[in-house]
Structure 1
Amino acid sequence: MKTITIAIDGFSSTGKSTLAKQLAQHLGYVYVDTGAMYRAITFFAMQNGYISNDFFDKETLINALPSIKLHFEFSVELGFAEMFLNNTNVEKEIRTLEVSNFVSKVAEVSEVRSKLVEQQKEMGKNKAIVMDGRDIGTVVFPDAELKIFMTASAETRAQRRFDELEAKGDEVTYEEVLENVQKRDYIDTHREDSPLVMANDAIEIDNSYLNKEEQFKVVLELVEEVLL
């Protein structure tokens, strides 16, 4: 049976991971959340005091990269793979707004991107993979058979993220989340190394007014066209 590589890029909180999980489960493909990898390194930097609101010791983080071991472990209970940092499950810890506030800064560091892109390329060498992030269709898998670029208004994305955090019991305000979304958009699109851009051959999907089921149906039709 023909297998392909599906690259999903886009702005923060556009539901890339949700869509990627749905596709991977439906197709029996491997799913890789590259955002979790960047979040894990960010969490490591926070734990070790390398980054704060007014401080970022990039050199020390870069020197520590060889000691950072990342891997995913599939959870039968959850139905997706969880992120492990140095053999510790950090799936819950990396999803906080605090980590979100720093992750784009960490993702700007070329040495961090180089380390993770190398791992991501290795994960996808046998195809049958769905990977989401910021530079999957442009850097990691420029030859992917299907590239999706997801977008939505900042306000829509902030509301979705706020609802998600509130449901988890996090004490945040909508204004805080909107500011985080806008800040991350700016950093992601303006960094020197692999900025967030839509690949020339990507298909743009604005899901501002699509629910999860509608979005999945639209993209699954695109997948089926490629698989024919």
Structure 2
Amino acid sequence: MKKREKILKIAIDSPAAAGAGTLAKQLAKSFNLLYVDTGKLYRLAAYYRLKYPKKFNLSFLKKKISRLNINDLQKKELISDEVGTEASIISKNINVRNIVHNIQIKAAYNPPSNYSGSCLDGRDITYNIIPDADFKFFITANLKVRALRRFKELKKLNTNITYSKVLKSIKNRDYSDFNRKVAPLKKTKDSILINTSNLTKRACFLKIKKLIDNKLKNNGNL
């Protein structure tokens, strides 16, 4: 695959509901980068598996993913607790990971020419997808804070959802993400740790933007 040269690449890893998605979107907009929520790719695969149980197989998924439109990742159905749980399971499948991996690599290293680079967030971006990223961040937050954030998000879609159920789901997701054998969630030594528990979305964005701006200024841009 052809890789574009001299582009800005930002890699972000985080556990569920830490605020990485919102942050990545803001950074992508600020620096004119292609944004890809890689977790949504697995959620999309999980959504297909749940929606088309009889048709779903690797060929079906590959065909669907090959026709992917970034707008497909904005489906409201993808943030449901059921899809999230299924995504955590399906992401352990090495064949599924290979399909999604190719999409991620292409987005990271060969974004459309109208973008100045790429910004991807997920679980293994800093060491598996973009190991040579210009900037690496590990975004986290207190478990209960993350559960409350996800609860408020899901409450808009499902009035029957409870905080205790979401908290349990987040705990299970964390265990699965940190302990899976294939590409587990972990903080690399060269990733900057950002805890968003007591930060507003705006404050978190400005903190990271300042770090990026300072490095770009000192290096004379990339």
After TM superposition, the score normalised by the length of structure 2 is 0.86
Identity of aligned residues (%): 34
- Cα distance in structure 2, aligned partners of 1:66 and 1:32: 18
Task: Give distance in 2, aligned partners of 1:67 and 1:145.
Answer: 32
Residue aligning to 1:181: 170
Q: Does 1:27 align with 2:31?
A: yes
Q: Which runs of 5+ in 2 are unaligned?
A: 1-5, 111-115, 218-222
Q: Structure 2: how far apart are the matches of 1:103 and 1:151? A: 20
Q: 2:76 aligns with which of 92, 99, 111?
A: 92
Q: Which runs of 5+ in 1 are unaligned?
A: 51-59, 74-81, 85-89
Partner of residue 115, structure 1 = 99
The size of the alignment, in residue pairs, is 205
CA RMSD in angstroms, aligned pairs only? 1.8
Deviation for aligned residue 1:113: 1.1
Summarize the alignment of residues 50-199 of structure 1 with structure 2, pairs less than 5 Å apart: 61-62=57-58, 64-69=60-65, 70-73=67-70, 82-83=71-72, 91-126=75-110, 128-199=117-188
| Aligned-pair CA distance for 1:107 | 0.8
Q: Give distance in 2, aligned partners of 1:118 and 1:26.
A: 26
CA distance in 2, matches of 1:23, 1:194: 25
Among 189, 198, 219, the residue aligned to 1:200: 189
Question: Which aligned runs of 4 or more in structure 1 are off by greater than 4 angstroms?
Answer: none
Please say if residues 134 and 196 of structure 1, whose CA atoms lie closer than 8 Å, have aligned partners that are also in contact: yes
Instruction: Summarize deviations over 1:171-199 as a string: whole Å, max 9, x none.
Output: 20000100110000000111111000112
| Equivalent residue, structure 2, for 1:55 | none
Q: Does the 8 Å CA contact 2:48/2:61 hold for their aligned counterparts?
A: no
